[in-house]
Amino acid sequence: MTGIGELVWPAIVAHRGASATFPENTLSAFDGAVDAGADMIELDVRCTMDNALVVRHDSLVPLAGGGSVNVHEMTVDDIRNNDADSGLDDRTRIPTFDEVLRSLTGRIALDVEIKNIPGDPGFDGGREYAAEQVVMLLDQLDFEGPVLITSFNPVAIARVRDVAPTLATGFLAPKAADLGSTLRVAEEHGHRFVLPQADAVEAGGEVFPRACHDAGVLVGTWTVDDPGRIGRLFELGVDAVATNDPVSAVPVRDEARGARQP
């Protein structure tokens, strides 16, 4: 792994891959993001019943025979055999985290969001097994490229910092979160990134990105597909914007980089 400091800012983060074009959180969507020239791919990880990590945003998996089951109630084989969204091949099915790492190593940076939030199905009561497994697999598979670990659950990223202090972490802030409080959390816990929702960042104007940068914290935001709005966020000083449509967003990033040149 390498540090996210090697990335050039501002950056485009492909939200669940190139998910405007391909099935989200699949190898096909991740390939599409690489082809589009995105700087980083955001993906979500969840634990299965047999303690594997799969890349899946939603907890529920629709079943081919009807109904749905939560990820934590299924083994990887269950998901492989019963997922109604499995697609036609291994590029469009729900991938395991290790499959993704093998596919993307040396190709692009990763933003790995850990899905283990109190109140959600599968929450492990603070055990944070997913956080530990993410770190272990990144190390075991020797992933080549910058990595950022994020979560809405501060305990999850605290566990990452406990077991891998040099790994960059980012605090995802809920939509209604106060920007000042969000920055204080990032500062107090040594997070490299703070990640509030785009509406809050726009409402705060240039003041918030400037305060973050003064504190040595980078600012990312989510999820924006309109190129004009992405450009305005970059003008405010935002360092990274997550988008479902990296094909449209990358030219905006390139223009913003040119404008930031001294």
Could you report the per-residue pLDDT of 138-179, keeping only the tens digit for each?
999 999 999 999 999 999 999 999 999 999 999 999 888 899
| pLDDT tens by residue, 30-55 | 999 999 999 999 999 999 999 999 99
Alpha-carbon span 94 to 63, nearest angstrom: 13
Summarize pLDDT for 104-128 with one digit per residue, the tens.
Answer: 999 999 999 999 999 999 999 989 9
Question: Cα torsion for 76, 78, 83, 86, to the nearest 10°?
Answer: 50
The domains of the chain, with CATH numbers, are 4-260 (3.20.20.190)
Helix axes 97-104, 27-36, angle to 10 degrees: 30
Q: Dihedral (C-alpha) 77, 81, 84, 85: value to the nearest 10 degrees?
A: 60
